[in-house]
Structure 1
Amino acid sequence: MNQRTDDIINRAVIINRLDSITGEMGIALEHSAHSPIFAEACDFACCICDQDGELVSQISGIPILATAGAFSVKALLRKYGSRIDDGDVFIINDPYDGGNHLPDIGIITPIFYDGELLFFSVSRAHHGDIGGSTAGSYNPKATEIFQEGIRIPPTKLMKNNEMIQDVLDLITLNTRNPEMLTSDFLAQIGSNRVAAKRIKEMLATYSVETVRKAVQDTLKQTEALTRKRIAEIPDGTYAAVDYIDDDGFQEEPVKIAVSVTVTGDHLLVDFAGTDPQVKGFINTSVVTATCASGIAVLWFLGKDIPRNGGAFGCIDVNLPKGSLVNPYEPAPMTLCTLTPASEIIGTIFQALDQAISGRVAAGYHRYLGPSYYGVDPRTNRYYVGFSFCSLGSGGAMQGHDGNPYMATLSNFGGVKAPNIESNEVQYPHITLYHEMDTDTAGAGEYRGGCGMKYAFELYAEQSDVVNFGDGIKFAPYGLRGGQQGSLNRGVFVHDGQEIVMASKENPRHAVKGDRVCLNTSGGGGWGDPLKRPIEKVYEDVRDEIITKQTAETVYGVAITAAGIDFEKTEKLRGTK
């Protein structure tokens, strides 16, 4: 074989090996973590960056976290420069300096080989509590980031492979469950060590120069492919607007304005016209807004483009200072990885769909669900729980119905719903029901996924419930004639009295027997509902996804006890 053939083979093998390493990192983290958020919901991500902080591989976890890994490494490099040694481990979460929001804590391990810094392994994970004025650290009434939890700039956590106990104590002392936090830090550190071990094994097989060349060539090749795909989009500016319900203080909706300008092989996502920063915790870090923009554009460009620094570097993003997507300190922003990250992606989808139709999905559900906390009567220990079971559904796209029961757009289904039984073991509550909700899927030639009905009852003598999220006022959008999905709704039943919850509210005091009842939204539809195949409409009725009435009035399909009434259906659809 000639040298060029060797290089191609080496590049394919090395990059696929790095991808498998990030996958192994995720498995190690999932199986070694103490927190149900890691072990059950898998609310984490793993990635590998090169010595300059460029993202090389991110295959395990949720995109809004994994993509942010490069920002964290670059923040670390800015602060420490050459003062990074073999055996160091670093920690970071500050959204104003390389993080996306406070609960997502990054653990960064530099990887040396023969005395040379070559890579960083990064695990980023959502922790159940990182301090602040509300347990669980989602405080819908926070007006400053200081009320949301402890801020950690790039900081050395380990030296010579030994924990710096003073740093660990300083962080964990500011949280409500220091033992669990410490345990989960160790799981992240262990996950990074798996990557370091595997990468060193790879470097022992290949030379450092071979691996370095494979990485550099992959980044260049990815950039070339990304720019080629951008150049295939018709030149022009494509604009869209979407809205967030409110910020928890003002009643008025908050606007996200996006224009995507394509000029040759250059693409700019511009947020000029987006509302100024707000009082509440929906402000968005630069890292989150930039990552969300990249995720949306790369979905549109194609799944075969590797999600590495070569691709993300092709996407320019303008985030006006002082706006919702680039606030001045010390604006709060804990909700930003859900809302407005998901709405940013959806707004860019709506803009790009004007350029080339059929590549992106209709609107996904917006997260809405409470955290709940108190003392578990079974153990007499403090707990913080999240209703990860209150997921909604995805939007349809050309050729595909929306996926039911999945995480928001910013997570692309990466967050998993915990098993109901194990969730009841972990937290003092009982699930009352958990099922799909009829007539909630956005209608279309391809329909959205169904919304869900979920309710649970608390049995601790005293606890607190904090509802947070969005989607009570604005439903998931439809595309190309598809209809909107349904709205979210939450009800708190206290002493038998039903109270409709706002999407962002102060903690509610709960007593034994109180209930939380949630209706999560179905995804938006794609295309004219009257073009949906008659047999599929019939199947949806049989599966109780839609009612006979909806089949007739929305889809133009008449169904009786005997089956499809084809003659009436032809009249309803105007085909006779």
Structure 2
Amino acid sequence: MSDIGEIRMQVMWNRLISVVEEQALTLLRTAFSTSVRESGDLSAGVFDPRGQMLAQAVTGTPGHVNTMAEAVLHFMNEISRDQMFAGDTYVTNDPWQGTGHLHDITMVSPSFLNGELVAFFACTAHVVDVGGRGFGADGKSVYEEGIQIPIMKFAKKGKVNLDVVRILRANVREPNQVVGDFYSLAACNEVGHRRLVDMMKEIGLTSLDGLGEFIFSRTRDAMLERIEALPKGSWSNELVTDGYDEPVKLAAMVSVRDDHVEVDFTGTDPMSRWGINCPIIYSKAYACYALKCMVAPDIPNNAASLAFFTVSSPVNILNAVRPAPVALRHIFGHMVPDLVLGAFSKALPGKILAEGAGALWNIHISARPVAGGSGRRAEVLMFNSGGMGARPELDGLSATAFPSGVHTMPIEATEHTGPIVIWRKELRPNSGGDGEFRGGLGQIIEIAATDGHEFDFSAMFDRVNHPPHGRDGGKPGVAGVVRLDDGTRMRPKGWQHVPAGRKLILELPGGGGYGDPAKRGAAARANDRSKGYISENE
């Protein structure tokens, strides 16, 4: 290919990325749920007619993007080519064929140009409610966790299946928000389709085959070069987490071969009877993300880059099978990067950050008037983040969602959705692990119902009994705490009650430190004290 041809292809590749970014922003701007609109808990991407991901939007989470990359193939297996039409949109929330739990809706739409299938657009988003027990760990099977939508048509030839809409409305607590998000997802794919067709007509393309081959060949060459430079061998790691009512051990073996990297979760504890199990599609998504961060963070994420990573596991809590309850699959899914990176740290000493809070401290609040009173009822979902682990040359980031990358919800947006008040939301002093480089701080959040209201909440927390470890001599981060303002300790997982007049206080864990604390300079410690990151006597 000539230099001009290479430049032209690169421009088209960048144009394709801008198409999917606009696709994602459409969902961000039109979504009804705060988890999507304010936090960016979504993904969007474009795929070739064989179901291979060509490009993903930067906006979104690794758990959604990398599961979506596999989910499109499941849609193609369920809906034959002769049943695909222009204007179609397909949907599912199947945890094993989608993104790991029922609260995530995945939609796939075929894109036609001049009657020929040229691409698929796919997107996912977390909706506020899917019925059942609600978003929590208390279900004993997936059947208790909410409505299950098999792969089916949400719209056929541009006409929405209103029977699906009626079934949704009859099964969820927030029908307007949920149905609104369904339409937002469909609109997201439609915008992607329109922009792609405009691009192809402008450039004079009748298919994406040539562009796809350019994308995949360049990605394969770059990935192979990075993997060849890695040390070869196998390294293992174990990580103990809180679990539901007893600790859970996660185990991984990472093996670097000549032309690919393998992850094996053998040795991980068995499936739980509680809703903290994780389907392999989600465990794989975050294992691949961790590997990508280490091997080739600057190479675009697509089918060719993901093909260099293989993930396997016997049936266990990271490879849960139907009908296991999986509502909180994100907790252990978000621990997988620390697990995998811990193994990689033995292959690449001095290169891997310390452990962090990992799992988001999500909380689902079901607020209502006290008995005999009047007022609002509402379902409120908050995403909160602890501290990241310190890095080999930098302090950890505070109150930052790694590995999910979702944004913190603004207090005002959260309070707008229901009768609750966030009385305090600030960094938690002294929570970052000490070291040459300090771990990131967690945060303190105080939540109460408005006058005349009470609430139940679903706790989805970890690192309460097992704080994040430091690395290379760094100290562990400070463990999380869940309590009421009268000192009553609450459980880190499960539905619980907060009476009217009481405040729920969440103290999120800090990240582990990196390196010998004796090597931390006096100027760095003085700066920490001046900003309130550590106490004066620390």
TM-score higher than 0.5: yes
Identity %: 27
More divergent stretch after superposition (233-242 vs 27-36):
27-36
**Partner amino acid for 1:72?**
A
Query: Aligned residue for 1:277?
Result: 271
CA distance in 1, matches of 2:179, 2:374: 20
The answer on 1:481 being equivalent to 2:473 is yes
Deviates more, 1:105-114 or 1:421-430: 421-430
What SS does the corresponding residue of 1:173 show, helix, strand or coil? Answer: helix
Structure 2 match to 1:471:
463
Write the deviation string for residues 485-509 of structure 1: whole angstroms up to 9, x where unpaired: 111111135xxx432111112332x
Output aligned runs, 1:201-240, within 5 Å: 201-208=198-205, 211-240=208-237
Contact 1:372–1:384, Cα closer than 8 Å, also in 2: yes
Query: 1 CA distance for matches of 2:479 and 2:343?
Result: 22
Equivalent in the alignment of 1:560: none
Cα deviation, 1:262-281, whole Å, max 9, x if unaligned, reads 12122111111111111111
Pair 1:455 & 2:446 matched: yes
Structure 1 residue 542 displacement after superposition: 1.0
1:164 is aligned to 2:161: yes
1:286-325 alignment runs, 5 A limit: 286-320=280-314, 322-325=315-318
Instruction: Find out whether 1:340 has 2:332 as its counterpart.
Output: yes
CA contact (8 A) 2:440 2:511 kept: yes
Q: What is the number of residues matched between the two proteins?
A: 532
When structure 1 is superposed on structure 2, of 170-179 and 192-201 the one drifting more is 170-179
1:428-481 per-residue CA deviation (whole Å, 9 max, x = no partner) reads 112221111111111122211111111021125343222122111111121222
Contact 2:380 2:414 in 1 (8 A): no
Q: How does 1:432-447 map to 2 (within 5 A)?
A: 432-447=423-438
Do residues 420 (structure 1) and 411 (structure 2) align? yes
Distance, in Å, in 2 between the alignment partners of 1:421 and 1:17 is 36
> Which amino acid in structure 2 is aligned with residue 265 of structure 1?
D
Partner SS state of residue 187, structure 1: helix
Q: Partner of 2:181: helix, strand, or coil?
A: helix
- Displacement, 1:128? 0.4
- Measure how far apart 1:427 and its partner are: 2.0
Q: For the Cα contact (< 8 Å) 1:404–1:449, is it kept in 2?
A: yes
Following the alignment from structure 2 to structure 1, what is the Cα–Cα distance between the partners of residues 522 and 297? 31
3-state SS in 2 of match to 1:20: helix
Say which SS state the counterpart of residue 108 (structure 2) adopts: strand
1:504 aligned residue (463, 468, 493) = 493
Per-residue CA distance 1:154-187 (angstroms, 9 max, x = gap): 1101011110111222233211111111111111
Q: Cα–Cα, structure 1 residues 419 and 99, in superposed 2: closer, same or farther, change >3 Å? A: closer
Q: 1:404 aligns to what? A: 398
**In structure 2, how many angstroms separate the alpha carbons of the residues matched to 1:255 and 1:456?**
32
Q: CA deviation at 1:354?
A: 1.1
2:34 corresponds to which of 36, 39, 49? 36
| Map of 1:367 onto structure 2 | 360
Rg larger in structure? 1
Deviation at 1:313, TM superposition (A): 0.7
Which amino acid letter does the alignment assign opposite residue 101 of structure 1? Answer: H
Greater shift after overlay, 362-371 or 70-79?
A: 362-371
Q: Does 1:148 align with 2:145?
A: yes
Matched, 1:531 2:519: yes
**Distance in 2 of aligned mates of 1:40 and 1:522:** 24
Task: For 1:435, give the aligned amino acid.
Answer: E
Task: Name the structure 1 match of 2:528.
Answer: 540
1:88 touches 1:161 (CA, 8 Å); kept in 2? yes
1:276-335 deviation per Cα after TM superposition (whole angstroms, max 9, x unaligned):
111111211121011111001000013211111111111011121x21122232001111
Secondary structure of 1:61's aligned partner: coil
Instruction: State the distance in 2 between where 1:438 and 1:358 align.
Output: 27
Please provide the CA RMSD for this pair: 1.9
Kindly indicate whether the alpha-carbon contact (under 8 Å) linking 1:138 and 1:468 is maintained by their aligned counterparts in 2. Answer: no
CA contact (8 A) 2:367 2:449 kept: no
TM-score normalised to structure 1 length: 0.89
Q: CA separation in 2, counterparts of 1:72 and 1:492?
A: 41
1:2-151 to 2 correspondences below 5 Å: 3-58=1-56, 59-82=58-81, 83-133=83-133, 137-151=134-148
8 Å contact 2:107–2:185 — kept in the other structure?
A: yes
User: Structure 1 residues 294, 347: CA separation in 2 closer, same or farther (over 3 Å shift)?
Assistant: same
Q: Which amino acid aligns with 2:517?
A: P
With structure 2 as the length reference, what TM-score do the two structures score?
0.95
Q: C-alpha separation between the residues in 2 aligned to 1:101 and 1:487? A: 27
**Partners in 1 of 2:126 and 2:411 — Cα distance?**
20
Query: What is the distance in 2 between the residues matched to 1:425 and 1:180?
Result: 14
Indicate whether 1:266 and 2:241 are aligned.
Answer: no
Name stretches of at least 5 consecutive residues in structure 1 with no aligned partner.
551-576
Letter matched to residue 113 of structure 2: Y
Q: Which position in structure 1 is the counterpart of 2:239? A: 242
Supply the distance in 1 between the matched residues of 2:209 and 2:169 (Cα, whole angstroms).
38
CA distance in 2, matches of 1:533, 1:36: 42
Write out the 4+ residue segments of structure 1 that deviate beyond 6 Å after TM superposition.
Answer: 376-379
Counterparts of 1:171 and 1:63, CA distance in 2: 27
Distance in 2, Cα, partners of 1:108 & 1:303: 27
Hey, what's the Cα distance between the residues in 2 that align with 1:473 and 1:479?
A: 19
Residue 386 (structure 1) aligns with: 381
Residue 55 of structure 1 contacts residue 67 of structure 1 at CA under 8 Å; is this kept in 2? no
Q: CA deviation at 1:359?
A: 3.7
